[in-house]
Structure 1
Amino acid sequence: MKQKSNISVPDLSGRRAVVTGGSDGMGLQMAARLAEAGADLTLPVRNRSKGQAAVSSILQRSPGARVELGEMDLSSLDSIAAFGRTMQQAGKPIHILINNAGVMTPPDRRTTSDGFELQFGTNHLGHFALTAHLFPLLRAGGARVTSQLSVAAARGSINWGDLNWERSYRGMEAYQQSKIAFGLFGLELDRRSQAHGWGLSSNISHPGVAPTSLLAAREELGRAQPTGGRRLIRILSRLGVTGTVESAGLPALAAATAKEAQGGQFWGPSGFQHLAGAPGLQRLYTPLEDLDQARRIWATSEELTGVSFPAESQSRVQ
């Protein structure tokens, strides 16, 4: 039996939202809901034609929506920095940032333009750098930052001896590492905001399991056909065992917009095995509980990306 889940999104008129990975799948579903609620929406995209199709889709659903595209490749630190400069030049505070984009298990090891293993470099380091570059605007908006993880982060570890998997590439383990690192960052961001008076909050979410484009055929990942796992997930989704593309984005949407959502929380589906169902609070995955690991990945990420967050309170953007 197919599960039905939905949430109410509060009025977001006058609030600016930025969503990565918002040009298709659950990211597009989240973006459409934010725009429908009145948010001024910015979608940073790598593929402009795909982004324009997403904008058209949103406007068909909400003709009065305010949505704009930005150019950004999350696998390029230069591109992320350029997008950050464009946003800062515009000077508009950001109230919601959903770090949703990601790549999953290329069959062979691939790297970003900066030489990082693709999943670690995109899923974690790219979003770390993006959040840092947008930091003044996030402070100005008293933003809520929501970072999208995966059920894969429930197990695994960070391969400190070979962060970029140069000696022995194992796609799923590298994916787990990227999401664990990303989750540690999302939680540490909230702790540091509280400690330093940054005035923003940060939480994390996961979508459960759904037939999104992560495991679809993707030429840029060297995957000519959808994985067997995606075909199975599609069948389970139709049976209601796992979620849908529409339901998968609801935990992040709730984490980013619900009045009861707070910094440091972990949101995900509340159904069987947290595969699907209505959004709710989750027990933190064991790999995300280690504060020393969180501080270490923060320092390592600053070193690798060359960007940093201030240690002390700074003036807000006017």
Structure 2
Amino acid sequence: MAIQVPNQSEKLAVVTGSNSGTGLWAADGLAAAGATVIMAVRTVEKGERARREIMDRHPEADVRVRRLDLADLSSVKEFAEDLLRDGKPLDILVNNAGVMMLPTRHETADGLEMQIGTNFFGHFALTLRLLPALLKAPAPRVVTMSSSNLRDIDFNNLNWERDYDANGAYGQSKLADLLFSRQLARVADQRGWSLLSLGAHPGNASTSIYDNGTQLDGGKPILALRIGWKITPRHSAEAGAQPEVYAATQPDVVQAGYYGPRFGLVGRPTPAKVPDKGKDARVAERLWQEAERLTGVSLEALDL
């Protein structure tokens, strides 16, 4: 059962990876509550199909599709510049898109390992580039999707040039997302911004993210991981989207809050326990510095 979303009329929201899975249902929930939603997707045709699905359910919704490839920093720059040219405040940014469990190592257009490059570095660059629009809004929120599968950050092998491990690379990218959500909250507080930065995780949601990832290797999955993912308790993609929708809209959220399913893998959204590795402010600050270096996007270069 979906949560009750407060009225989002007059708000502008961007949801990445919203052509399917949790992103589609996050866009649907925000649009149904009255927000103008920009579906930021890599493939516009898929985005348009997803938009029609939302419009079929909510004919009065205001939903638009724009291209964004998080695995290409020039695409991130182009998307952000187009949005900033619109001149409108951005109330909600949902960093939802992701790739998962690529059986072999692949690189983004900028030479970054594909999972951390897409899931973290792409969203880092997007968020910083969109800060001028976010800070125009009276109470902006950035929600970054993490995971219950987290692995330590290895700064000596951040891009997995050696000993590539599909599960490790995914888990590292998702811890990076959680650390980023909390570091952005610290930055906002230090600078006196009204922005709330929040993390969320979907539990074990029934989406196509695993199958989408294996397409880069001809559809060859890692059998043990696939079986493990399939046999654990899971809920629908709509249910998996509820924690990020909760974080994006509910009045009781707190700065640097983390939200997930009540029972860990499944259930209604609720505040989630932040693992110890997600609380390390020194690692989060170092990761931010590395992200600025590797993406070429920094706070100091922005007109804020």
Partner SS, residue 97 of structure 1: strand
Query: Is 227-236 or 195-204 further displaced after alignment?
Result: 227-236
Contact 2:132 2:303 in 1 (8 A): no
Matched positions, count: 302
1:300 to 277, 290, 300: 290
Question: 2:32 is matched with which residue?
Answer: 36
Superposition deviation, residue 216 in structure 1: 1.5
**What do the CA deviations read for 1:194-219 (whole angstroms, capped 9, x no partner)?**
11012211010100012211111556
Contact 2:129 2:302 in 1 (8 A): no
With the length of structure 1 as denominator, give the TM-score of the two structures: 0.91
With the length of structure 2 as denominator, give the TM-score of the two structures: 0.95
**Would you say 1:199 and 2:189 are equivalent positions?**
no
2:12 to 10, 16, 37: 16
Q: Go from structure 1 to structure 2 and tell me whether the alpha carbon gap of 1:281 and 1:219 turns closer, same or farther (over 3 Å shift).
A: closer
CA distance in 1, matches of 2:209, 2:218: 11
Superposition deviation, residue 225 in structure 1: 5.0
User: Could you list the runs of 5+ residues in structure 2 that have no partner in the other structure?
Assistant: none
| 1:228-247 equivalence runs, <5 A | 228=223, 229-230=225-226, 233-234=229-230, 241-247=233-239
CA distance in 1, matches of 2:12, 2:193: 18
Q: Go from structure 1 to structure 2 and tell me whether the alpha carbon gap of 1:213 and 1:226 turns closer, same or farther (over 3 Å shift).
A: farther
CA distance in 1, matches of 2:99, 2:212: 12
Question: 1:211 is matched with which residue?
Answer: 206
Contact 1:132 1:308 in 2 (8 A): yes
Runs of 4+ in 1 over 2 A off after TM superposition: 217-221, 225-236, 310-314
Task: Report the AA paired with residue 27 of structure 1.
Answer: G
Contact 1:108 1:222 in 2 (8 A): yes
**What do the CA deviations read for 1:239-259 (whole angstroms, capped 9, x no partner)?**
xx3221111110111011111
Contact 1:205 1:255 in 2 (8 A): yes
Q: Go from structure 1 to structure 2 and tell me whether the alpha carbon gap of 1:295 and 1:212 turns closer, same or farther (over 3 Å shift).
A: same
Task: Report the AA paired with residue 143 of structure 2.
Answer: T
Partner SS, residue 176 of structure 1: helix
Superposition deviation, residue 6 in structure 1: 2.4
**Would you say 1:265 and 2:257 are equivalent positions?**
yes
Question: 1:255 is matched with which residue?
Answer: 247
User: Could you list the runs of 5+ residues in structure 1 that have no partner in the other structure?
Assistant: none
Q: Please provide the CA RMSD for this pair.
A: 1.8
Contact 1:218 1:225 in 2 (8 A): no
Question: 1:76 is matched with which residue?
Answer: 72
| 1:80-119 equivalence runs, <5 A | 80-119=76-115
CA distance in 2, matches of 1:249, 1:230: 21
Partner SS, residue 235 of structure 2: coil
CA distance in 1, matches of 2:268, 2:294: 37
